[in-house]
Each structure stands twice: as structure tokens, then as C-alpha cells.
Amino acid sequence: MILNQHLSNFLSSHGYAVEMASRGEECLEKLKSHPLPDLILMDINLGKNRMDGPATTKKIYEQYDIPVVLHSAYTDKATLDSTRDMVKYGYIQKVPGNEQFILAGIELALKLHGAQKAHKQSEAKYRKLLHRSQDIREEQNVHIAREVHDELGQTLTSLQMGLALIENDLKECRSEEKCASVTQMIGEMHDTIRAAIDQTRSLSSQLRPAVLDTAGLMDALKWLIQDYQRRMRIPITLMNENEQLELSQEKSLAVYRIVQEALTNIVRYADASEVTIEPLVGDSLLEIYIQDNGKGFNSEALELNNSLGILGMKERANQFGGDVIIKSKADIGTKVYMYMQLKEDNEL
Ligand SMILES: Nc1ncnc2c1ncn2[C@@H]1O[C@H](COP(=O)(O)OP(=O)(O)O)[C@@H](O)[C@H]1O
Ligand SMILES: [Mg+2]
């Protein structure tokens, strides 16, 4: 058996700064008042009637991101079993002759922890980037929507007015035959322009749902549903349509985009004859189920990397403490479940 004091001396002689604590409670106290260590070596047995190593480790993991390597002189099954849940960075056996293994174990644990930290950081960075790019897209949408609405809309309207003037002038036309054919042409042009104005409106509101600014989320969803219903020619039932959905602009837009993507997927892939949307407002959660009875797909085997639509939905919900979960069965249909926190972060 190597005594802890010997272990400490050995590690010091290899360039490590070592601080000892003889009990679990003392270790937790020291963490509060000292600079945090790079690694903790934790004895499994910390004495009778005291908090043991695994329990102390659990407390450390709840509060800090410090790798803990458990150690003991014993390797019997009972000792190892007691550590099972807490061994994340290896286990070392403290017997004479094992010193070099102990050093290697510590170095490996430090490396593993460093790699995990780097991984977490890069994941956080990727999320930030994705959210930023979603935000930028929305900002650009606002801009394009305004251009489409104001510029293109204006141009079409002035064309329409020009046509009306010509139509008026034609009333004084002398050759009846000629007049009739020009009038017919004008009529057709009116129709074309009207269609173009409708398309402009629809494009502009797809880019930026103006209803969200003027009406609440529920009305915006109703409008969205009507729009899809017209295109899909299948009934979409909105349940609980009298629920009050009063969310911040950001959350409303996120919910709107999630429902929009779910409906787009249904139009594209589901071949459904019935769609139900069910929002549920709880004390702290907003939940929405979007269900179709279409052909379904293998949602278990979904490669999120290649399914940017679904990834985007999940990220939008993640941003507000929620998620999007999809369950689908062949020939039965698809259920998209989304939830998010109703309260803002600073109100939680
Ligand atoms: N409601 C649905 N019914 C059937 N298949 C669906 C449905 N929603 C999604 N899918 C399947 O999941 C895949 C991933 O969807 P998504 O991430 O939105 O990507 P994309 O729409 O760009 O293909 C789709 O290609 C489709 O095969
Ligand atoms: Mg999609």
C-alpha cells in the first residue's frame, strides 16, 4: 500500500503542486476558498462514518468541472462496484511499484479532460454560430420582405393604375373592332398584375410574417395554416385555438418557423390526408404537437447532419430551453413534438 503522504511526495517530485485534504468535507471546503485544481485524486475509503470518495466525487461533479481520479489500495469487486458511477477519468491502484502507472493515469485523465473541454467549447461555438446565422437570415428576410413589399408592390400598383388610365382613354376610341381587342388585352394584363401582386404579398409574408408584428402568435399560426391548407388541399385542424400565446417576438418567430418547417415537410414528403396542430400552454412550458397521417419515415435512423430542416427546428427550440422530438412510423404518420420554456432565462 502507498500512503497518501508518499503519493503526495512522489507527485511533488514530478513537478505537480499537491494539496491534501483528509476528509471529503474538507476537500469541498477547500474547493470553495482555493484556486481550483486541475485534477483531484480521491481515495475511495475516507474513513468510517464519513462521506466516502464516490459520494464526495458526486458532489464535486455537481458543482465543478474538475476531473476526479479515484484511487485505492484495493481492487476487490465490492470496492470497484462502489465507484462504478463515478469513474469518468480512470481508476488507479495505490500499490508499491505502480508509481509510473499512477503518473500515466493522471496524465491521461488530464488529457481526456482537456479534450472534453475543447469539445464542449467547440460545440458551444457551433451553436452560437448557428443561432447567429439564423438571426442574420431573419434580419435579411425583414429587409428583402420590405423591398419586395414596398418596391415591387409599388411598381405593380403603378402599372395597374397606368392600365386603368389607358382603359379610360380607350372609351373615346373610334374603331370599335380595334377597341374590343385592346380592351380584352388590358383585361388580361389586369389579371396578370393582380396575380403578381398576390404573389408579392405571399412572398413578402413568407419571408417575414408581418402578422407576427401586428397580431399574436395564435393569429399568425391561423394565417399560416390557412395558407398551407389552400396549397395542400387537406384539412389542418388547429386545436385549442382560443389559447392565449403571448410570447416575446423572438420566441413567437421561433415557434412560427418550427410549425412552418413541420408543415413544409408534410407538404413535401408526407402524402397525408389529415393534419392536426395542438398547442398546449402550461405554467412553465409551451408545447405543440404537429401530427400527420402520412407515409412516415424512419425517424430513428435520421442523420441530423443531413437533415438541416429538422436540425434548424431543434436549434430554435434549444435556444429557449426546449427541443423538438420527432416520432414517425411507416404508413401511420409523423408526430412532431416541440416544447420551450415560457419564462425568460432571467425569470427562471
Ligand atoms: N412529415 C413527414 N413525413 C414524411 N417524411 C418526413 C416528414 N418530415 C420529415 N420527413 C423526412 O425527413 C427528412 C429530413 O427532413 P428535413 O430535416 O426537414 O430536411 P429536408 O426537408 O431538407 O429534406 C426528409 O427528407 C424526409 O425524408
Ligand atoms: Mg424540411
Classified by CATH at the fold level, domain 211-347 comes out as: Heat Shock Protein 90 (3.30.565)
DSSP 145-183: HHHIIIIIHHHHHHHHHHHHHHHHHHTT-S-HHHHHHHH
Q: Which bound ligand lies closest to the C-alpha atom of 269?
A: 1
Q: Which bound ligand lies closest to the C-alpha atom of 271?
A: 1
Q: Atom 6, ligand 1: which residue's CA is nearest?
A: 269
Share of the chain residues as helix, strand and coil, in percent rounded to the nearest 5: 60, 15, 25
Distance 282 CA to ligand 2 centre (A): 28
Per-residue DSSP letter, 132: H
Give the confidence band of 346 by pLDDT, cuts at 50, 70, 90: low
Q: Atom 16, ligand 1: which residue's CA is nearest?
A: 309
Specify the pTM. Answer: 0.68
Residue pLDDT, tens place only, 99-149:
888 899 999 999 999 999 999 999 999 988 888 888 888 888 888 888 888
| Side chain identity at residue 170, one-letter code | L
Distance 265 CA to ligand 1 centre (A): 5
Residues in the chain: 348
Residue pLDDT, tens place only, 9-50:
999 999 999 999 989 999 999 999 889 999 999 988 887 888
Residues at CB less than 6 angstroms from ligand 1: 265-266, 269-270, 292, 294, 296-297, 307-310, 334
- CATH class name, domain 4-96: alpha beta
Give 279's contacts (C-beta < 8 A, 6+ positions apart). 218, 221, 238, 239, 240, 243, 245, 286, 287, 288
Give 11's contacts (C-beta < 8 A, 6+ positions apart). 18, 103, 106
Beta-ladder partners of 237: 276
Nearest to 92 by CA among 105, 78, 82: 105
